[in-house]
Structure 1
Amino acid sequence: MAVKKIVTGNHPTLRVTSEKISAVDDSIKSLLQDLIETLDGTGDKGVGLSANQIDEKKRIFVARIYENNEVSETYTPAPRHFINPEVIDVSSESNLIVDPERKMLEGCLSLPNIYAFVERPHEVTIRFHTMETLESGQDPLEERFIHDNAIVVQHELDHLNGILFTDHAIQQGQTIYEITDDDEPRVIEI
């Protein structure tokens, strides 16, 4: 168990649909710890991390789920894990329309310094397992996420399907920005 290297750019694993996890074994437990330690190692830069971002092709991601459905600069929740997640319902309202004041740029640890506004469903319900439910043979859980939490969950689930947020931005005709610590945002093409 360790902090793993996050794959970036055009790494082929980022474009692969991840494999379903059928049972919990030591390798899956170790993978979960690696995901948590790697996300924690990013400091405040990351709110989620999928297995394929550390070059593992398994359907699991970790995410920080915020109590008030809004990413906070003063509070960092412990990462939760989601195994074999699937979307079972989405709202018809878009995150960019419902609350334009809260519109936020989406970024990714695998695409450093790249950001874009991405239109996504404002609410999403997913079905998923945890280590405990999968190991004990229980039914998967279902949970609804809204606002920022919905964006994070959809972003990480996209990774498990080989999709990057920039794919959505391009498809939607959104502007893509490169923002570094010392530069003004600049528009780029991918």
Structure 2
Amino acid sequence: MSVREILILPDPLLRKVAEPVEQFDDELKKTVADMFETMYDAPGVGLAGPQIGYMKRVAVIDLADEENPDSGKIVMVNPEIVGMSDEVAVSEEGCLSIPEFYYDVERPAEVTVKFYTETGEEVTRHATGRLAVCMQHEIDHLDGVLYIDYLSRLKRDRVLKRFQKKARLAG
């Protein structure tokens, strides 16, 4: 296992759509292990393949705490939202690829997600609260969508300009 570099906005890979996983092999298992190690090191509660330049539809989540004892390590391979509530909820989101920015985002309050584990086992999971938010956030990454895309144009542009300026100064 190794910690991988997390791509930071405006890296163009963050805007690309990830390809479906076709092989549930040792490479996938190693990548999943690296993703967990990278996420914990950051520290964060979710990480999608494109955030480390792995352009496959894989995301990991770990929300295990006193509030969510049943939502420990989750590996979602080829996840698909198959149902969502009409009810929406607003919660603060951040992103390891957009460090130091946190904004309120409105999303469906509940989702049902079909995905595979890293061993190829099919799972359908209903989620509410923080887990629902995290699952939607990570699936968005797999589609090249960032949480700032849900913000007003003014807020989104402010974030984009700051990261574009940082990239120019670093480059």
More strand per residue: 2
1:72-126 per-position Cα deviation (integer Å, ceiling 9, x unaligned): xxx8x74321100000000000013xxxxxxx32100000111211100000000
8 Å contact kept, 1:66–1:149: no
- Provide the residue aligned with 2:62 in structure 1: 64
1:104-154 per-position Cα deviation (integer Å, ceiling 9, x unaligned): 32100000111211100000000000023x1xxx5x211000011100000
For residue 89 of structure 1, what is the amino acid of its counterpart?
G
Structure 1 residue ranges without an equivalent (≥5)? 97-103, 177-187
TM-score, L = length of structure 1: 0.76
State the distance in 1 between where 2:80 and 2:152 align: 24
* Secondary structure class of the residue paired with 1:119: strand
Residue 159 (structure 1) aligned with residue 157 (structure 2): no
Report matched runs for 1:139-150 at 5 Å: 140-150=122-132
Residue 52 (structure 1) aligned with residue 46 (structure 2): no
Residue 124 (structure 1) aligned with residue 111 (structure 2): yes
* Secondary structure class of the residue paired with 1:18: coil
For residue 129 of structure 2, what is the amino acid of its counterpart?
H
- RMSD over aligned CA atoms reads 2.2
Aligned residues, how many? 159
State the distance in 2 between where 1:60 and 1:110 align: 16
1:37-96 per-position Cα deviation (integer Å, ceiling 9, x unaligned): 1011123xx11000110011010000014477x57xxx8x74321100000000000013
1:88–1:118: structure 2 CA closer, same or farther, 3 Å change rule? same
- Provide the residue aligned with 2:87 in structure 1: 93
For residue 3 of structure 1, what is the amino acid of its counterpart?
V
Residue 105 (structure 1) aligned with residue 92 (structure 2): yes
Runs of 4+ residues deviating >2 angstroms: 65-68
- Provide the residue aligned with 2:76 in structure 1: 82
How many percent of aligned residue pairs carry the same amino acid? 34
